[in-house]
């Protein structure tokens, strides 16, 4: 999928699925805080959620640049890719670091949708930004690991069959560097919930099923360890570039949706007997947002192309997410202002998308941490923490 034409075909295919799920569908789910079950099923059946799984394991075998188009188009259509996006990339840890046996066991079922792997547990109440301080422990006991600890804001646990978990297998005071001694596991949530894992839902600003998790002597099979014990932080970092680039594309989809809706409204809505878009006070913020979304889009493809070429892309992935998250937020504000009071009215969808796109300046990584990465790793400024 490397020609402009085939990318266009991919866009068209995703748009066709999204057309079956108009604004009213997403608005209805948002008001009831429900999961987009039918949409996720339709995307799975079309193969799009298995985009990054190689063909030999039953996926589409697309490269990352192509996969970003899928998530972009969902958000551009007025939908929200977040309930579905983790099925696209959470399996990356397994694909890159799992054993052949694990890959054969899980990847074909993830590609077909038979199982959902879209819960990913890293953040803790005492360790959000500071990941290596996490306190959840996994202690080996025969052919099992025993898990204890707490996680917070872990999304889609109630709509996932399996989960990827980052936990500490060697205490912090016994490793040279804090990033050592962490391990990654895959385990069956259906067996775990009620048997050592308690799920406490958290209500957040957007329609995103997210939870506090309490692990109390949860026993999982040792065969769920991915890669080597103690190297899990490195494995999680490997997946973060892909996640950041994919989410940058979601922001770009949102940014384009806001610009398109604002432009439409500015051309139609008449105040003082003329379209409000005739006023440069309305026109310029929309035009500026468009410019910034387009610029962010270039960085998103630059990062994705480096990723697909197997080149280092940490700085580009981070910069793409920062630029895209900020551009989509700027576009959201321009749309809100253009719609006036109607922007606050749920029926116009601006307020819903406005809430949804705000998340990306905080999660999966906050913009401050991206700037700190650029300061330290790109510019060579002193480390601040």
Ligand X SMILES: Cc1cc2nc3c(=O)[nH]c(=O)nc-3n(C[C@H](O)[C@H](O)[C@H](O)COP(=O)(O)OP(=O)(O)OC[C@H]3O[C@@H](n4cnc5c(N)ncnc54)[C@H](O)[C@@H]3O)c2cc1C
- Write out the residues near ligand X by the rule CB under 6 A: 120-123, 128-129, 153-155, 204, 208, 210, 359, 362-366, 368-369, 372, 384-385
Element (H, E) at 154: strand 144-155
Nearer to ligand X, 44 or 160 (CB): 160
Nearer to ligand X, 220 or 262 (CB): 220
Nearer to ligand X, 26 or 57 (CB): 26
Nearer to ligand X, 89 or 145 (CB): 89
220-223 contact pairs (CB < 8 A, 24+): 220/138, 220/144, 220/145, 220/147, 220/185, 220/187, 220/188, 220/192, 221/143, 221/144, 221/187, 222/140, 222/142, 222/143, 222/144, 222/145, 223/102, 223/143
Q: How far is the CB of 366 from ligand X (least distance, A)?
A: 3
- How many angstroms separate the CA atoms of 141 and 319, rounded? 43
- How many angstroms separate the CA atoms of 281 and 304, rounded? 35
Nearer to ligand X, 10 or 325 (CB): 325
Q: How far is the CB of 384 from ligand X (least distance, A)?
A: 6
Q: How far is the CB of 363 from ligand X (least distance, A)?
A: 4
- How many angstroms separate the CA atoms of 17 and 354, rounded? 23
Nearer to ligand X, 193 or 204 (CB): 204
Nearer to ligand X, 207 or 263 (CB): 207
Q: Which two tokens stand for residue 124?
A: 């803790």
Q: How far is the CB of 317 from ligand X (least distance, A)?
A: 15
275-279 contact pairs (CB < 8 A, 24+): 276/338, 277/338
Strands 162-168 and 197-202: unpaired
- How many angstroms separate the CA atoms of 87 and 51, rounded? 10
Q: How far is the CB of 281 from ligand X (least distance, A)?
A: 31
- Residue whose C-beta lies closest to ligand X: 128
- How many angstroms separate the CA atoms of 107 and 109, rounded? 5
Phi, psi of 120 (to 5 degrees): -140, 110
């Amino acid at each position: 999928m490397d020609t402009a034409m085939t990318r266009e075909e991919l866009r068209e295919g995703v748009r066709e699925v999204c057309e079956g799920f108009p604004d009213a569908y997403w608005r209805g789910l948002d008001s009831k805080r429900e999961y987009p079950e039918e949409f996720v099923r339709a995307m799975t059946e079309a193969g799009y959620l298995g985009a990054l799984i190689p063909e030999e394991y039953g996926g589409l075998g697309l490269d990352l640049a192509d996969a970003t188009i899928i998530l972009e188009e969902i958000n551009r259509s007025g939908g929200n890719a977040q309930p579905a996006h983790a099925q696209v990339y959470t399996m990356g840890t397994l694909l890159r670091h799992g054993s052949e046996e694990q890959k054969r066991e899980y990847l074909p079922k993830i590609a077909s949708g038979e199982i959902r792997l879209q819960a990913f547990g890293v953040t803790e109440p005492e360790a959000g930004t500071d990941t290596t301080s996490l306190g959840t422990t996994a202690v080996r006991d025969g052919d099992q690991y025993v898990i204890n600890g707490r996680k917070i804001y872990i999304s889609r646990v109630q709509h996932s069959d399996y989960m990827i978990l980052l936990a500490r297998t060697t205490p912090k005071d016994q490793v040279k560097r804090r990033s050592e001694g962490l391990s990654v596991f895959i385990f069956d949530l259906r067996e775990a919930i009620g048997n050592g894992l308690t799920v406490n839902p958290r209500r957040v600003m957007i329609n995103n099923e997210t939870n506090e998790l309490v692990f109390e002597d949860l026993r999982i099979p040792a065969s769920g360890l991915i890669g080597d014990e103690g190297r899990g932080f490195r494995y999680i970092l490997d997946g973060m570039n892909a996640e950041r680039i994919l989410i940058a594309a979601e922001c770009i989809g949102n940014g384009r949706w806001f610009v398109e809706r604002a432009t439409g409204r500015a051309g139609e809505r008449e105040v003082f007997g003329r379209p409000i878009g005739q006023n440069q006070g309305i026109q310029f913020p929309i035009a500026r947002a468009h410019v910034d979304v387009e610029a962010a889009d270039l960085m998103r493809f630059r990062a994705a192309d480096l990723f697909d070429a197997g080149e280092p892309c940490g700085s580009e992935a981070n910069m793409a997410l920062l630029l895209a998250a900020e551009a989509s937020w700027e576009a959201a504000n321009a749309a809100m202002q253009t719609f006036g009071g109607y922007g606050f009215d749920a029926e116009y969808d601006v307020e819903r998308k406005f809430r949804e796109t705000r998340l990306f300046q905080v999660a999966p990584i906050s913009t401050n941490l991206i700037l700190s990465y650029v300061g330290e790793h790109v510019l060579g400024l002193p480390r601040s923490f």
